Amino acid sequence: MITKEKYLKALEIVEKYHQQLKQEIVNQRPNLNGMGLKRGDFVVYIGGSESKYLTKNKKYRLTTEPFRNRVAIINDGGIRKVYKQSLFTIL
């Protein structure tokens, strides 16, 4: 039988593992500035925004080249918005 102490220790290990995975994902996100992207190219939303007008894993068309760690897209609401590059990746 598993004691409460063993359960809490295992839970702590799992939570640390999840934090580590999350940090690795953040570190792997590319900087889109030097990728040769131009107006009309597609980027994929990978999550991280509270916006209800972005759908995870959906492709969005760029309205301009990426600039200053930002990208400009037409969101699900049909409005051109500027978002952080870290929320997107290339195909």
Number of other CB atoms surrounding residue 83 within 10 Å? 19
pLDDT value at residue 69: 87
Which fold does the domain 32-90 belong to in CATH? Answer: SH3 type barrels. (2.30.30)
Whole-prediction pTM value?
Answer: 0.65
Cα dihedral 31/37/38/44 (nearest 10): -80
Q: Choose among 88, 71, 76: nearest CA to 52.
A: 76
Question: How confident is the prediction along the chain (91 residues), in pLDDT tens digits per residue?
Answer: 889 999 999 999 999 888 887 766 555 556 777 778 899 999 999 888 888 999 999 999 999 999 888 999 999 999 999 999 888 988 7
**Percent helix, percent strand, percent coil in the chain, to nearest 5:** 35, 25, 40
pLDDT value at residue 35: 77
Tell me the domain boundaries of the chain. 1-30, 32-90
pLDDT value at residue 28: 57
Could you give the CA distance from residue 64 to residue 76 in angstroms, rounded to a whole number?
17
